[in-house]
Structure 1
């Protein structure tokens, strides 16, 4: 999977570079005396910046927080990566480099996509671009390639998660029919991908609910309970670890508000 993963990553890099280039070349510009060549025929929604603000902060910002909760959620595959690394000491270095690159890619896509289209940015930013824009067509192909080659990594997490649940509850029928489990999961995921058209809604809901759970609530709870088992509930270590429980109500509030705002914005 290393080769296909590299192809998928190269496709993402192209897409980010294409979005960055279009943000500056004026092809989608609507400024005074500057109407982009892909705007004049009214085939796509014209960029709008009425609601845009560089430093604006309100409850709708929680939608972005929800999206970030999903964007950086690599926890389900972290055990697999750690287990398969030859030198376990390099794990921290790998995570630091990977998340630094991701931060740069996400920030660039968000900033330059917003600079190009403003308020009319769709959940899948590629859909904002003109059908006759050759670079955007290649961007769609690149997105397809990145999803195609990245899907096995994501599906690996889903499969292992379901197998873990089956093991926990001793569902022998599921464990004995691994092929049937994989087919069922693939069918379900494929159905969702075909029927859902607004990816931002799914990302927002998933990021708010599951992202808050995995980023804030579960780590704090698991860490505190692990310290209690290792040192006892009367130990200084556990008393210090209990401070992490403060993240639980924070995660709950962030998740509830994120889900609420995502639903509210989808109805506008």
Structure 2
């Protein structure tokens, strides 16, 4: 292994160990911290404990018997009831409904004074008042039980439906938006009508398979295992660990590919640093805390930064296309259409491999994890489908801006990284920076898919929190070391074949087969799932053959 790779791995292992130690100390301090007592009842509108309410009459009698005169007995010290409710010694004539609607102060002021000579009468009045309060408290408890419970505090936050849509866009767009103009212009070009049709078809199919994944999981009781192989297991299909391994290889290759882009972007920006130095700086500082956490909801903040970069880059390319206004054919379909749809090979491209539209909407390595991150109150397959659909629609808009903007600006001269068609202008430099930020924000999301895939393959090993954390640190170190040692040109064919086979399988085959074999889904969804799985299998075979043939020519 090269010295740079060793340095990256060592730095990541040290950073991860320090992070785990700090997290452990925080948990210990949290356990030692005194907990606040939440008082319910009284002014909070919550009922007191039933047991405390039942014990209130005897406590009121004791207070009355200890009073020096009847007046004191009638206004004895309020008795604490339950978790904060207050029982006052009200008049014996007060009805339970009146007591329930009156405040403690009003109840005390409304209580008639007992004759000062008769302690027994005072005790009887106090007992009756306490009994009325107990009945009112019981009625309040019954009413409170019918209310939805308050959301308990949890260290793990969740995502709203809108936040999930934003995270999905940040996951989908960074790696697929730049090469689409080159793909659309290849082989004589593709008209805008078939290009839009391809975007709509693959975006809708991806959304539907995410919906199927949620339906299958929900039908099984909402399985807590977030790995994609859970769908395979629920369908009672053999080789679930092969699915975990395939997703792990896919995500690991994509992570190494994305890490390689960081160095290229830094070199283009004028930073004359080695590949190992760039990767060590990026992985240790901004990426390690994001990649090693268990809560995907915290990644929404980095996703917002990535979305800002994506938005600027897409608008920049759209404006460039509008300014040049080269003609774009409407209905042309040719050899380039297959390039746009389902092949990923061009060995002459040193910077970026094009992302075929067949896998441009791939985020299914996190399909179940995203579903579980939804707010419990919003979590349902229908809501999930709406979030996924909104994310796919926004992604299609971004892809349309970069595709048609690049074609209208440069035509057949568009490069696989369309930003390389621009000179070193301020706008182009900012677009490259925005792309880099977007890739940085998408890296932890891909790494999350890698983590859950390996966790699913070895559940017994990662059952212990310390071993799980150490495994994830070592995994991040391995990805960084691999990216520091091997460039995109070294592993380009492997990554493209992974996308053509494993990527298509993750998007279409696994969710489709799981739905087709689910006994809980309606026949229509089962039939549609089987059709999607069959089509995905054909696309995987065809894409792999096209990729291999393209590389064989070079």
Q: Which category of TM-score, normalised to the shorter sequence, fits these structures? A: 0.7 to 0.9
Tell me: CA distance 1:210–1:184, structure 2 relative to 1, closer, same or farther (3 Å): same
Cα distance change of structure 1 residues 238 and 185 upon mapping to structure 2, 3 Å threshold: same
Deviation at 1:142? Answer: 0.7
Deviations 1:103-148, CA, capped at 9 Å, x for gaps: 1111221111122233343333222322x22211111111111111
Q: Are residue 88 (structure 1) and residue 379 (structure 2) matched?
A: yes
- Structure 2: any 5+ residue segments left out of the alignment? 1-298, 343-355
CA contact 2:359–2:507 (8 Å) conserved in 1: no
Distance 1:149 1:53, change over 3 A: same
Kept after mapping to 1: 8 A contact 2:317/2:406: yes
TM-score, normalising length from structure 1? 0.72
Cα RMSD, aligned residues only: 3.4
Report matched runs for 1:1-268 at 5 Å.
1-26=299-324, 54-58=330-334, 60-66=336-342, 67-86=356-375, 87-89=378-380, 90-130=383-423, 132-167=424-459, 170=460, 177-190=467-480, 191-192=482-483, 195-197=487-489, 204-227=496-519, 230=520, 241=526, 244-266=529-551, 267=553
**For residue 3 of structure 2, what is the aligned residue in structure 1?**
none
User: Contact 1:68/1:207 (CA < 8 Å) preserved in 2?
Assistant: no
Could you say what secondary structure the match of 1:20 adopts? helix
State the Cα deviation string for residues 7-46 of structure 1 (Å, max 9, x = none).
11011000001111122334xx8x8xxxxxxxxxxxxxxx
CA contact (8 A) 2:323 2:409 kept: no
Decide which structure has the larger Cα Rg and report it: 2
Please give the per-residue CA displacement for 1:183-206, whole angstroms capped at 9, x wherever unaligned.
Answer: 343244433486105998677534
Residue 177 of structure 1 deviates from its aligned partner by 3.0
Alpha-carbon contact 1:76-1:157 (below 8 Å) kept = yes
Distance 2:427 2:475 in 1: 34
Partner of 2:80: none
Deviation string, structure 1 residues 201-252 (Cα, Å, up to 9, x no partner): 677534421232123322221112222xx59xxxxx6698357434444322
- 8 Å CA contact 2:371–2:384 kept in 1: the answer is yes
Q: Give the distance between the partners of 1:54 and 1:122, measured in 2 at CA.
A: 21
User: Residues 70 and 240 (structure 1 numbering): CA distance in 2 closer, same or farther, change over 3 Å?
Assistant: closer
Contact 1:16-1:108 at 8 Å conserved across structures: yes
Q: Which runs of no fewer than 5 residues in structure 1 stay unpaired?
A: 32-48, 232-236
* Equivalent pair of 1:220/1:245 in contact (CA under 8 Å): yes
How many residues of Structure 1 are paired with residues of Structure 2 in the alignment?
236
CA distance in 2, matches of 1:160, 1:144: 25
Task: Write the distance in 2 (CA, Å) between the matches of 1:202 and 1:121.
Answer: 25
Between the aligned partners of 2:492 and 2:428, the Cα distance in structure 1 is 19
Task: Show the counterpart of 1:34.
Answer: none
**Native 8 Å contact 2:362 2:503 kept in 1:** yes
